Chain A
Amino acid sequence: MRTSATGRVGQYLALLAYLVFLAFPFLWLVSTAFKSPRELGSLRPGWFPEDPTLANFRQAFDEQPLLRAAGNSLLAAAGAALIAVLLATPLAYVMARHRTLLARAATGWVVVSQAFPLVLVIIPLFLVLKNLRLINSLPGLVMVYVVWALPFALWMLVGYVRAVPVELEEAAAVDGAGRLRTLVSVTAPLLAPGIVATGLFAFITAWNEFFFALVLLKTPEKQTLPVVLTHFIGAEGVADLGPLAAAAFLATLPSLLVFAVIQRRITSGMLTGAVKS
């Protein structure tokens, strides 16, 4: 597409504005995390720390059990991602390949489940988990995360399954491969990258989740990272900004790293799932 020179300049200016808007809060977070307490106390904080220090990080680890919280988050997120993918892949396969009533009901559930406010789900779940003695336990949280991650996992996986040509499976069947054999040695390898991307996405979703963790985990030893982060903010909303920024920065790193890995696949997953007709 040819665009005039002034048009081009305008486009670059607009892009620059977007870049600034998107990046500045994060840059400020990083900058705050490395500032010395003296600098944070001054009334004229600058964009860059004058003498960068790790003091905030040390203080953050002293004040809150960040490592344990990260461990809890890791367990909950990895467990949920693994189970969600194991459960979702077969169902997604059926939803993509067969037009049964069941497949349509599952699609309907994926849509409807997005519309319900979490409060309507969490109260009954809280009561059910309480009866099962799974309140304040990571396995209980994992169960909730699995179901919570399923809709989007199904959505993505259905797209990936559709991208695998049926003809390949049929060819395998013609060659005498049984149904299971076809699935394992033809479909699964082609689907693997999509499954990994879906699992990693489920991992981030669970790693970042806050509401369920807030309601279901009561004792500090069990709490996940997002819940522990909020402890840095005192009852009156007064926060020690340095350690708060340091801890928040650290908590974000895993999500950013994983997202960097799957970024392209997420986009293409949405593309195939959302747009392909």
Chain B
Amino acid sequence: MSLTTEGRGSEGRGSEGRGGARRASGTGPPRDLVSHGAWFLVLPALLPILVLSVGPLLYGILLAFTDAQSGRTEPTQWIGGLNFRDLGHDTLFWESFRIGLVWAVGVTVPQFLLALGLALLLNQELRLRWLARALAIVPWAMPEVVVGIMWRLVYSPDAGVLNETLRDLGLGDGRDWLSGLATALPAVIVVGVWAGMSQTTVALLAGLQNTPRELHEAAAVDGAGAWRRFRTVTWPALRPVALAITALNFIWNFNSFALVYVLTSGGPGGRTRLPMLFAYEEAFRYGQFGYAAAMGCVMVAVISVLLALFLVGRLRGGDRA
């Protein structure tokens, strides 16, 4: 979220900061105490962040340029860009990368559209809204492993509710969704959409409740239809939140692991092997730490470029609209 709200947030904080300075010059002491005391407050969190997050990230990037392997006795050596050259020829990796992109887009887009619809509904004065609100959050609360297990039960060829329903409706005998070469990826994408809808809905609902109600009513009085009101009043107010949550969803989905690990562990025949599963196997099954780190770097790089393009495009589009 912070991606886009940061701009707006910092304006707010800017004025706060100036106000604070003005007030501080009036009262004197507090400001000094604050800037000294600040280190006290910051250090406890800063140390673990540096040691266990920033450090490992940099270390991870460095590892990508080495031949590090698990359980090897010889010292690790610098091999420059060799890992990346190998990756360039690794068709299996690029296939997995392609699947990752299909999955990320295939999950993120429906996730957003469905969540937007749900958020708009939940923003209305409807009966049963409390139930829908509670249910809308359930997937968010569940462990990803359980979500995977749950959908395995749904997709189960014999005892699954999906095939059962198809049989009841007379639509054939159903199939083994998760092991079918053609159905596996769409089947896991549906699960991804289900699992991630909650967060998106909550974020969009929060954004919706921030849209100016008076404007909405004024537009209604002026005879603007629902679609027009949405386009001219709701959407402009919602856009920053929508952009931020979509960008985050895309990253999270591209990097997701547990769901697909439980559902198919990458099968059948690698049809659902997301890049994270690929890198996990490379690192912890085959012990190729350096090579797996290089994969991680490529994933970050490509995602950053795609996101930058997406955000720049969207922001420009917004200026024109």
Asked if B153 and A256 sit within 8 Å, CB to CB, the answer is no
Asked if B121 and A14 sit within 8 Å, CB to CB, the answer is yes
With contact pairs A86-B44, A114-B248 given, residues A123 and B283 touching in the complex (Cβ less than 8 Å): yes
Q: A199 CA to B13 CA in the complex, in Å?
A: 26
Is B144 close to A, CB under 8 A? yes
Q: A150 CA to B299 CA in the complex, in Å?
A: 23
Q: How many of A's residues come within 8 Å of B, CB to CB? A: 107
Asked if B2 and A110 sit within 8 Å, CB to CB, the answer is yes
Q: How many of B's residues come within 8 Å of A, CB to CB? A: 125
- Quick one: which of B128-145 are within 8 Å of A by CB? 128, 131-132, 134-145
Q: Which of A18, A44, A239, A277 contacts B121 (CB 8 A)?
A: A18
Is B217 close to A, CB under 8 A? yes
A56 to chain B, nearest CB (A): 12
- Quick one: which of A99-119 are within 8 Å of B by CB? 99-100, 102, 106-107, 109-111, 113-119
Asked if A274 and B255 sit within 8 Å, CB to CB, the answer is no
Selecting from B3-11, B88-96, B311-319, the interface stretch reads B3-11
Is B46 close to A, CB under 8 A? yes
Known: A116-B300, A150-B45. 4 other contacts (CB 8 A): A22-B194, A45-B161, A128-B55, A128-B56
Is A61 close to B, CB under 8 A? no
With contact pairs A98-B38, A263-B137 given, residues A208 and B144 touching in the complex (Cβ less than 8 Å): yes
The residue of chain A having its C-beta at the shortest distance from the C-beta of B125 within the complex is A1
Q: Which of B252, B276, B293 contacts A123 (CB 8 A)?
A: B293
Q: Which of B137, B197, B279 contacts A117 (CB 8 A)?
A: B279
Is B236 close to A, CB under 8 A? no
Cβ contacts under 8 Å, A230 to chain B: 145, 261-262
Is A190 close to B, CB under 8 A? no
Asked if A26 and B14 sit within 8 Å, CB to CB, the answer is no
Cβ contacts under 8 Å, A97 to chain B: 20, 34
Asked if B202 and A266 sit within 8 Å, CB to CB, the answer is yes
Asked if B143 and A226 sit within 8 Å, CB to CB, the answer is yes
With contact pairs A15-B128, A114-B252, A259-B141 given, residues A87 and B44 touching in the complex (Cβ less than 8 Å): yes
Q: A116 CA to B64 CA in the complex, in Å?
A: 14
Asked if A18 and B132 sit within 8 Å, CB to CB, the answer is yes
Cβ contacts under 8 Å, B159 to chain A: 32, 40-41, 45, 241
Asked if A99 and B13 sit within 8 Å, CB to CB, the answer is yes
Asked if A93 and B41 sit within 8 Å, CB to CB, the answer is yes
Asked if A124 and B63 sit within 8 Å, CB to CB, the answer is yes
Cβ contacts under 8 Å, A25 to chain B: 147, 150-151, 153-154, 194
Q: Which of A90, A263, A273 contacts B44 (CB 8 A)?
A: A90
Asked if B12 and A119 sit within 8 Å, CB to CB, the answer is no
With contact pairs A98-B38, A123-B292 given, residues A116 and B145 touching in the complex (Cβ less than 8 Å): no
Q: A97 CA to B148 CA in the complex, in Å?
A: 41
With contact pairs A32-B159, A274-B241 given, residues A146 and B42 touching in the complex (Cβ less than 8 Å): no
Which 4 pairs between the two chains have the least Cβ-Cβ distance? A120-B296, A90-B41, A259-B141, A208-B143
Asked if A29 and B150 sit within 8 Å, CB to CB, the answer is yes
- Quick one: which of A178-235 are within 8 Å of B by CB? 178-180, 204, 207-211, 215, 225-226, 229-230, 232-233
